């Protein structure tokens, strides 16, 4: 505490705050009175971001050791200090995340929900995405504690503003955990269809958060989405397409460039499609699914790379369907393996292009191992005239050997 009061360096204050947090989590520091509170809260005003974050951690963890005193303090500060709301919400998050695993902490949080929830839902309207993300995590963890109360409340909020809807649907990610949670699943499963209606929302951020939540649920608790997936697949596929209305031209005077606001949601759509191959394959019409890869293979670098991984996965989980839908994919793959950079391109762009070609060839190598693939005349011609001929031939042989050795068909979309 003397170090915190003194004129030490920012690094010293940062370490001091983390130490106080760790001690406070294990020991009741309420005997230190107003001095400790004053000095920790003063650190929220530091010019150094690392010190501010350490203060947020410290306050939340000190509160864990003396909840009756510090939880009302934090809630009060959130109400009266809008500029510090983000940091104070992080302190509240520390309490909720850590206390949601102990019986005593759960009881305290249950008793305090009437004070906590109004603040969280008010903060869900904040125009800073970082603040809304913290609120989502807090709501999700509280849902784990009292799903019978929180799930109906979250459903009610689906009629709110775009910020609230995006925050609420994102909260489900934090209510979905890998371990069995029968009470949560029992409450969420019947209402997942209501959350998935947000795929039709007019707000781009709401749709993107909904896709991210569907992807997360499909990875960890597919039972939540399987029952309502089929009627929502067209909406998921629809978000994989380039939408001209989301592309803006920015005028910087000497030159203009285009900004595509749809990139992140397209990535989320393809990541979700990949996940569904693992956990909901029987719910997919593979002809339709594979048809949507054509646009992805003609998209930007990141999305082309995702589509290559999906193709590799398809060779394992649905090889027959892939062969049936292979012909329209050949020309986009030909364009990928023949990709070039502009003259005078910087090294980063050259390296990216090289990795795109390697990624394409890995996908081609995986497809080439599918039984009877040679019966597809167009793919066979592509292999003979483009992949195995000219400068690509040697590269393909090396990549084919690497792929067979590694058996790569995994993707981390967390």
The Cα 336–Cα 308 span in angstroms is 10
Residue 326 pLDDT > 90: yes
Residue 328 pLDDT > 60: yes
- Read off the pLDDT of residues 332-357 as tens digits, 9 standing for 90 and up: 999 999 998 888 889 999 999 999 99
Locate the domains of the chain by residue range: 295-414
pLDDT of residue 331: 96
Instruction: Name the token pair of 148.
Output: 């019978």
Span 257-274, average pLDDT: 95
Residue 150 pLDDT > 60: yes
Residues linked to residue 1 through DSSP beta bridges, in sequence order = none
pLDDT of residue 403: 77
Span 163-182, average pLDDT: 89
pLDDT of residue 411: 47
Instruction: Name the token pair of 385.
Output: 């005239």
Taking CB atoms within 8 Å and a gap of at least 24, the contacts of 220-226 are 220/176, 220/177, 220/178, 221/176, 221/185, 222/279, 222/280, 223/185, 223/189, 224/176, 224/185, 224/188, 224/189, 224/192, 225/192, 225/196, 225/280, 226/280, 226/283
The Cα 365–Cα 328 span in angstroms is 17
Residues linked to residue 258 through DSSP beta bridges, in sequence order = 249
Residue 408 pLDDT > 80: no
Residue 178 pLDDT > 80: no
- Read off the pLDDT of residues 381-397 as tens digits, 9 standing for 90 and up: 999 999 998 788 889 99
Span 400-407, average pLDDT: 77
Cβ–Cβ contacts within 10 Å for residue 11, how many? 11
Report whether 55 contacts 17 (CB < 8 A): yes
Mean pLDDT of the chain, nearest integer: 92
The Cα 363–Cα 293 span in angstroms is 13
Instruction: Name the token pair of 315.
Output: 């060779």
Q: Where are the alpha helices (DSSP H) in 233-388?
A: 233-238, 263-279, 286-291, 293-297, 301-317, 319-324, 327-337, 347-368, 377-382
- Read off the pLDDT of residues 94-143 as tens digits, 9 standing for 90 and up: 999 988 877 888 888 888 999 999 999 999 999 999 999 999 999 999 99
Cβ–Cβ contacts within 10 Å for residue 171, how many? 28
**Which region among 84-98, 138-152, 241-255, 258-272 has the lowest average model confidence (pLDDT)?**
241-255
Residues linked to residue 106 through DSSP beta bridges, in sequence order = none
Report whether 57 contacts 90 (CB < 8 A): yes
Span 179-187, average pLDDT: 85
Instruction: Name the token pair of 383.
Output: 């292999």
Span 191-208, average pLDDT: 96
């Amino acid at each position: 505490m003397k170090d915190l009061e003194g004129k030490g360096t920012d690094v010293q204050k940062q370490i001091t705050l983390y130490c106080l947090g760790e001690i406070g989590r294990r020991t009741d520091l309420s005997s230190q009175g107003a001095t400790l509170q004053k000095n920790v809260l003063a650190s929220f005003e530091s010019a150094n971001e690392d010190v501010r974050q350490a203060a947020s951690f410290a306050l939340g963890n000190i509160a864990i050791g003396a909840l009756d005193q510090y939880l009302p303090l934090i809630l009060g500060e959130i109400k009266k200090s809008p500029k510090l709301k983000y940091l104070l919400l992080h302190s509240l998050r520390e309490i909720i995340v850590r206390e949601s695993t102990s019986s005593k902490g759960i009881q305290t949080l249950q008793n305090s929900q009437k004070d906590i929830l109004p603040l969280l839902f008010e903060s869900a309207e904040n125009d800073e995405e970082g603040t809304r993300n913290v609120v989502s995590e807090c709501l999700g963890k509280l849902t784990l504690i009292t799903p019978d109360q929180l799930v109906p409340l979250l459903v009610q909020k689906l009629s709110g503003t775009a910020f609230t809807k995006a925050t609420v649907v994102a909260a489900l990610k934090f209510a979905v955990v890998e371990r069995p949670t029968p009470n949560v699943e029992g409450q969420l499963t019947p209402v997942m269809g209501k959350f998935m209606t947000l795929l039709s929302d007019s707000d781009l951020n709401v749709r993107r958060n909904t896709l991210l939540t569907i992807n997360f649920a499909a990875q960890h608790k597919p039972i939540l989405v399987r029952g309502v997936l089929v009627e929502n697949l067209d909406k998921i596929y629809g978000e994989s397409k380039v939408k001209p209305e989301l592309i803006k031209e920015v005028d910087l005077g000497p030159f203009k460039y285009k900004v595509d606001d749809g990139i992140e949601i397209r990535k989320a759509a393809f990541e979700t499609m990949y996940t569904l191959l693992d956990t909901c394959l029987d719910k997919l019409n593979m002809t339709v699914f594979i048809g949507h890869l054509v646009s992805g293979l003609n998209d930007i670098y990141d999305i082309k790379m995702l589509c290559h991984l999906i193709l590799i996965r398809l060779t394992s989980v649905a090889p027959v369907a892939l062969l049936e839908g292979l012909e329209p994919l050949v020309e986009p793959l030909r364009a990928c393996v023949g990709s070039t950079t502009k003259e005078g391109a910087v090294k980063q762009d050259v390296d990216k292009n090289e990795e795109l070609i390697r990624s394409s060839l890995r996908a081609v190598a995986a497809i080439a191992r599918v039984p009877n693939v040679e019966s597809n005349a167009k793919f066979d011609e592509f292999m003979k005239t483009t992949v195995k001929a000219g400068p690509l031939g040697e590269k393909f042989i090396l990549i084919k050997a690497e792929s067979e050795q590694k058996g790569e068909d995994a993707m981390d979309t967390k």
